[in-house]
Amino acid sequence: MIRRTILAAALAAMPLAAAPVLTTIQDVLYKADGTRFNGTLTISWTSFVSADNSSIATQMTTVKVIDGNLRVQLVPTTTSTPPTTYTVIYNSDGKVQFQEIWSVPVSTSPLRVRDVRVASDSNSTSGSGGGIGNDTNGVTESAVAGLISDLGARPVKGPGFAAGRAAVINSSGAVESAIGTLSDCLHVDGSSGPCGSGGGGGSTPTFIDGETPIGIVDGSNGAFTLSAVPNPAASLTIYRNGIRLKVGFDFTLTGNTVQFVSGAIPQGGDTLLASYRTDAGGGSTPPVYSSPQVLCSGAGTSTNASTLVTLATCSIPAGLLSQGDRVEIRFDFTHSGSSNGFSVETHWGTTTMLHRDLTTAETVLTGRIDSSMRNTGSLITSQTWGAVSAIATGAVAAADNFANAVVVSLLGSVTSGGDSVAVANFTVVRIP
């Protein structure tokens, strides 16, 4: 029993003997106006070994300062391996006030802050007053390891640099600004010019994907026609049953005609698909698309105005539509409030496609409009219906030239203030 008691006492005493020696920093802190400092001190350090061989791990601690009274115990750093310091950040009124460095010596009696504070001339990151960035001596670039090489690797401004322009890299590796008008397209070599596959004429390249070439697939026919001329010709890719064919080896291209070689003629049951680029403005005939296109889709805005206000628009660019095309417009108007009725209207360019006045009880009006392209203008039919309103139909001929840009507009108004009407969503689809 006596031996066990002595062993337990020795084991209990071991952690106490292993604890490092501490120096006490005790002081009363004031602000410049004479009032006492209230806040916290965040004290951080990196790993070191104290004079008594205690291993101190990287960590930090926060000390509260109430009515100016500071008291903290720290391991001395002037005798540590390697010699190190404490970084002390003063925080008051919810923000960092300043920062300073402490070097703590061995002392059996309490020290004041001035006894441990590192003077500004021995530490370039803080001054005796502790303000971050107070040092006016500065640090040279060569004093920071690797800084000069890193600065040399960064992009620099070239003589043609200007704000508010697209950036390009010149032949010397410097950043300059693209030259040209705001409507130009930027090329990968940094040059600019009118948008288009050839960079001239203001034409816009169009991508055609998954088109089925026109021709009989019977094992004997080797000539097939594309709906447009590939431009550039190298953009054409043809797949036979999912396998890509090689131009010059499996087929040749002349204009928009694909001629298969004798050993690669498609057999009955084969599937052909073609993808390529073409120039939308490079010819007199607009390009033909093989599948429907969603031209616009989204939600509009709302209004409580008593006169018609545009709530959503879709701009169809010039040259996109051709005779025989059809544009389908679907929309939903919503009505909020119970005091007034509302009105809706849709426009195809300058032509009113439909107008409808609804009662106070109506909450939703949905509709569909079809605009078919004729040799001159368009023929437009419409259908609308609501939660309580009966279906209504209409038809109108529009003289607007679809070869030019056409704007589809959805408008709304309420009878008087208080209620509101909105375009909840709309979709404009081109069907070739």
Q: For the segment 308-356, what is each residue's pLDDT rounded down to a tens digit?
A: 999 999 988 877 788 888 999 999 999 999 888 999 999 999 999 999 9
420/303 same-domain check: yes
Q: Which residues contact 391 (CB under 8 A, 6 or more apart)?
A: 383, 384, 385
411/373 same-domain check: yes
166/64 same-domain check: no
Residue 199 has pLDDT above 70, yes or no: no
Looking at residue 236, its pLDDT comes to: 92
169/269 same-domain check: no
Please compute the mean of the pLDDT values over residues 144-155 and round it to a whole number.
Answer: 78
pLDDT confidence bin for 134, thresholds 50/70/90 = very low
108/230 same-domain check: no
Cα(338)–Cα(26) distance, rounded to whole angstroms? 73
Domain's final residue, options 94, 122, 150:
122
40 falls within a domain? yes
Please compute the mean of the pLDDT values over residues 110-122 and round it to a whole number.
Answer: 82
The whole-model pTM stands at: 0.38
Supply the DSSP string of 273-300, one letter for each residue: EEEEEEETTSSSSPPPPSS-EEEEEE--
284 falls within a domain? no
Cα(164)–Cα(173) distance, rounded to whole angstroms? 20
Looking at residue 127, its pLDDT comes to: 39
Question: What DSSP element (H or E) covers 147?
Answer: helix 147-153
Q: In angstroms, how far is the first alpha carbon of the chain from the final one?
A: 102
Measure CA 215 to chain center: 45
pLDDT confidence bin for 274, thresholds 50/70/90 = very high
Looking at residue 234, its pLDDT comes to: 87
98 falls within a domain? yes
pLDDT digit string, tens, across residues 357-408: 999 999 999 999 999 998 878 999 999 999 999 999 999 999 888 888 899 9
78 falls within a domain? yes
Supply the DSSP string of 53-116, one letter for each residue: --EE-SEEEEEEEBTTEEEEEE--STTSBS---EEEEEEETTEEEEEEEE-PPP-SS-B-HHHH
299/420 same-domain check: yes
The total of structural domains in the chain comes to: 4
Contact 37, 31 (CB under 8 A): yes
Residue 205 has pLDDT above 70, yes or no: no
47-51, 97-101, 275-279, 394-398: least confident range: 275-279
What is the domain-level CATH number for residue 382?
2.60.120
pLDDT digit string, tens, across residues 76-93: 999 998 889 999 999 998
pLDDT digit string, tens, across residues 13-27: 555 556 899 999 999
174/255 same-domain check: no
391 falls within a domain? yes
Domain's final residue, options 63, 97, 122:
122
260 falls within a domain? yes
> Which residue in 379, 370, 365 sits closest to 414, CA to CA?
365
Residue 97 has pLDDT above 50, yes or no: yes
270/393 same-domain check: no
Backbone angles phi, psi at 350, to 5 degrees: -100, 0
The domain of 58 spans 12-122
pLDDT confidence bin for 204, thresholds 50/70/90 = low
- Mean residue pLDDT of the chain comes to 84
44 falls within a domain? yes
221/336 same-domain check: no
Domain's final residue, options 173, 193, 213:
193
145 falls within a domain? no
Instruction: Encode 375-396: b = buried (16+ Cβ within 10 Å), e = exposed.
Output: eebbebebebbbeebeeeeeeb
274/372 same-domain check: no
262/377 same-domain check: no
245/167 same-domain check: no
pLDDT confidence bin for 123, thresholds 50/70/90 = very low
141-150, 268-277, 395-404: least confident range: 141-150
125-129, 162-166, 255-259: least confident range: 125-129
